[in-house]
Amino acid sequence: MIPTLEWTPAGVNFLDQTKLPLEETYVLATDYQQVATVIRDMIVRGAPAIGVSGAMGVAIGIERSNASTLPELTAEVEVICSTLAETRPTAVNLFWGIGQVRDIFNGLAAKNTPIPEIKTAVVELAKRLYDEDIAQCKALGANGADLLPKQGTVLTHCNAGALATCGYGTALGVIRAAVERGHHIDVLADETRPYLQGARLTAWELMKDSIPTTVLCDNMAGHLMSKGRIQAVIVGADRIAANGDTANKIGTYSVSILAKEHGIPFYVAAPFNTIDLATATGAGIPIEQRNPREVTHSNGKQMTPDGVGIENPAFDVTPAKYITAIITERGVLRAPYNESIRAMALESELTLAAV
């Protein structure tokens, strides 16, 4: 297990992903503002990890509040939640994690629960969400493992591994599970410009697991597909609309079209809470625009002429028609996604009602 983030008595400890692969250092966040900075600056990244980070940010804000009355604490919680929600707009897991802690707080506050008991409850919830993320990713991996070839090469884009979760991974979790079952898989990792999550992060963690990995420039995948070098593509997701349209790191859309053209299965792996039932299609998913400097500079060196225009959307949306299957911890979804997603959501509601 790679310790992406951890709740400690001193605060929330984060593996600094901006320093990988050359340095393994940690950043300790001791209040919710520092957690917000860690998320915004991509010290932690990946939708599931951001979701749990958001929950821990709200929890540490409540735990360390000096409010002496419930009305004071309630007003402070709203500030905490809005501060964390403003950090990264695309990953729906962030809002889910914040909402989980806010909901339990509001429920306890409505019952006039003593503040010390509320603090204990929200911290325990944040810790439980961490454990649940790992369990979900392992279940997701088990559900998707046999979709990958028994022997062959799998392409992935960005990093949807242990570093993007609490320690096991979504897309890379499926690869890990397949390898654990005896599949002989080589991984091709798109470098994923401009932030290089594939070259820096995916390659780093797969090498730690001794899974054969080769880094590609982002414009090489089509060539290798045409040569029969790629048997499957698997990626993660930051938000999935109710019709199956999927937002993932910029460049994913292009890879999906190439896979479709070459008859290669294209899988999305994500926990079910990445599905945003309130967003009908991908057109409604907000796309984060990041600092132009990520494009103009590499390793501190300017790569473009002064004054040139820069586009830096962090994500794009892959239409559902290019997705072979969506792998979740609850099972594998297939087209038509608006029907299979709705059925899975209804099944979950019925299960919860029966408990």
CA-closest candidate to residue 136, choices 272, 3, 326, 333? 272
CA gap 272, 106 in Å, rounded: 24
CA gap 202, 208 in Å, rounded: 10
Q: Which of 133, 238, 245, 316 is catalytic?
A: 238
Tokens 């299957």 appear where? 325
Number of Cβ within a 10 Å radius of residue 222: 16
What are residue 188's DSSP bridge partners?
A: 155, 214
- Written as six digits, the tokens of 71 are 């009305």
Contacts of 22 (CB under 8 A, 6+ apart): none
Residue 118, judged by CB atoms within 10 A of its CB (0-12, 13-18, 19+), counts as buried
CA gap 135, 149 in Å, rounded: 24
Would residue 238 show up in a list of annotated catalytic residues for this protein?
A: yes
Long-range contacts of 276-280 (CB under 8 A, 24+ apart): 276/92, 276/239, 276/240, 276/241, 276/242, 277/242, 277/341, 277/345, 278/242, 279/92, 279/239, 279/241, 279/242, 280/241, 280/242, 280/243
Residue 148, judged by CB atoms within 10 A of its CB (0-12, 13-18, 19+), counts as buried
Task: Give the amino acid at 315.
Answer: F
Which sequence positions are flagged as catalytic?
Answer: 238
